[in-house]
Amino acid sequence: MCGLIFFMLLGKLFQQKTYSFLSFERDYKSYFPIAITKILSDGTEIPVQVYDIQKGDRLLIRNQELIPVDGILISEKASVDYSFVTGEAVPIAKKSGDKLFAGGKQLGRVIEMEVLFSVSQSYLTQLWSNAVFQKKVDIKHKTITDTISRYFTPALLGLAVLSFLYWIFISVDTAFNVFTAILIVACPCALALTAPFTLGNVLRIMGNRKFYLKNATVIEQLAKVDTIVFDKTGTITTNKKTAISYEGTALNDFELKLLKNTLRGSNHPLSRRLYEYIPNQAKIEPQHFEEITGKGISADFVEGKVRLGSSQFLQHMSENTHKKTKVHVEIDGIYKGSYVFNNQYREGLEVLFDSLSKRYDLVILSGDNDGERKILEKMLPNSTTLVFNQKPEQKLEFIEQLQKQGKNVMMVGDGLNDAGALAQSNIGIAISENVNVFSPACDGIMDASQFQKIDFFLKFSKNAMKTVYMSFGLSLLYNIVGLSFAISGNLLPIVAAIIMPLSTITIVSFVTIMSNIYSRTSKL
């Protein structure tokens, strides 16, 4: 009866167009703002949202990119890793004409495929929810709800029986009225709906602000964070404003063609920026492609061999190499020069760090050299820890050490080279500028335009949990007051039946209004 009355009243709310606050019908578009590269009929490559993919489209899949849909391999061969879907660690070799399944990760040189089916919500949600990526976390609000629920019914029945036995010797009619009123007025619905409605509304609000969380559990974990670790390249720096210059022997058109087609298969932030920087060239396929995370790329073509990456990878140390962000280039065994990246930091970075430093321990954890240490020391608060020259595995170990010190760590990275650190951290957030890589290791995806609002989202999460606990208290207070009237014989069953659903409506309205108020007052 409680649930029936509640949903009848909820239906009235929908008819009155207040449903926008209570709508939790979100499809995969709300959670997965990922894109993929589509090849047009004239050969032009453009990024498109995954949900815009149609049957028959031709897609370009780069090294380490997730295959978002089922399709047919057009390229000669491919190597696909399904380990985080099937658990099988050995990549599967595919040849032209073979079927590729959504959820696989392309390894090696760039491939092309034809789409068989448009993207399905089930593929991505099942992938992100795979047990491999589930973190064991303490969910306090669920613990409170479970604890109260465990004792609620037995305590209620015991109270009803004792009250009945007390009143039966005074008045039989009153005894039955008291017994019935107690069972009706002490409704657990409001208590059970507190957390789902609050967190559901918070998910909706964050989604509208382009911060997409894996599930409602992440909100409570965000509220517990005390240490925030940021990657540098692609995270606190922006891909769109980087100035690139070349130092070394000038590259001719043939060499630029080899370099462009080598970069075409990589998803590293520097590779993507350099790929966009180099003028369009004729497309050729490498015979061999290998990308070593944190080091560089090696590609063999019929026309020549290209190696590019760090100075250590090419074993070439030039003057001031260690003081700049560079991608070094070697063609056919001859060192040519390097592309220098003058990073542009994200708008609002200094204000964000100043605000965060008042409540959190801040760390910059970068795989780059320390060439920009002095710039960062001037820009960021003195309490910010700067750590450079970190390989992916070293980033993961750094996070582990913080956790062993009792820190609750949030890692903010680009979702590419930071997968291990994102998975290890208590909360992993991937910053996405041109979102063409899905990282199931992360707990949330944030549009890069919202980077300066990280402090707002953290405050909002804390206030959301306050709302949950306040509504717990409000629900329990309602039950205590209602039971006191029922036990004293001052509450008729018919009145209890009318009042009971009002508690549910009150709680739902309270958490909805409070979460919306906090979404405005917490705003930066």
Band (pLDDT 50/70/90 cuts) for residue 10 is very low
User: Between residues 21 and 357, which one has the greater pLDDT?
Assistant: 357
Band (pLDDT 50/70/90 cuts) for residue 417 is low
Tell me the average pLDDT across 503-511: 79
Q: Any idea which residue has 């009153």 for tokens?
A: 174
Helix, strand, coil % over all residues of the chain, rounded to 5: 45, 20, 30
How does pLDDT run across 92-147, given as a tens digit for each residue? 888 888 888 877 788 888 899 998 877 654 444 454 454 445 565 555 556 566 66
Q: Are 217 and 309 in contact (CB under 8 A)?
A: no
User: Between residues 471 and 461, which one has the greater pLDDT?
Assistant: 461
Tell me the average pLDDT across 375-386: 89
User: Between residues 418 and 484, which one has the greater pLDDT?
Assistant: 484
Is the pLDDT score of 51 beyond 70? yes
Check residue 172 and give left, alpha or beta (phi > 0: left; psi -120 to 50: alpha): alpha
Q: What is the pLDDT of residue 137?
A: 58
Tell me the average pLDDT across 401-410: 93
How does pLDDT run across 204-248, given as a tens digit for each residue? 888 888 888 888 888 888 999 999 999 887 788 876 656 788 888
Q: Are 282 and 295 in contact (CB under 8 A)?
A: no
Band (pLDDT 50/70/90 cuts) for residue 15 is very low
Tell me the average pLDDT across 297-319: 84
Q: How far apart are CA 134 and CA 487, in angstroms?
A: 46
User: Between residues 192 and 354, which one has the greater pLDDT?
Assistant: 354
Per-residue b or e along 156-168, where b marks 16 or more CB atoms closer than 10 Å to that residue's CB: beebbeebbeebe
Q: Average model confidence (pLDDT) for the chain? A: 78
Q: How far apart are CA 323 and CA 334, in angstroms?
A: 23
For the chain, percent of residues with pLDDT exceeding 90: 18
Q: What is the pLDDT of residue 149?
A: 67
Q: What is the pLDDT of residue 9?
A: 38
How does pLDDT run across 280-304, given as a tens digit for each residue? 888 888 888 888 877 889 999 988 9
Ranking 382-396, 423-437, 440-454 by mean pLDDT, the lowest is 423-437
Is the pLDDT score of 273 beyond 90? no
Is the pLDDT score of 396 beyond 50? yes
Q: How far apart are CA 119 and CA 47, in angstroms?
A: 15
Q: What is the pLDDT of residue 19?
A: 34
Is the pLDDT score of 24 beyond 70? no
Tell me the average pLDDT across 295-323: 79
Q: What is the pLDDT of residue 32?
A: 43
Is the pLDDT score of 62 beyond 70? yes
Q: How far apart are CA 48 and CA 64, in angstroms?
A: 18
Ranking 55-64, 85-94, 359-368, 422-431 by mean pLDDT, the lowest is 85-94
Q: Integer distance in angstroms from the first to the last C-alpha of the chain? A: 44
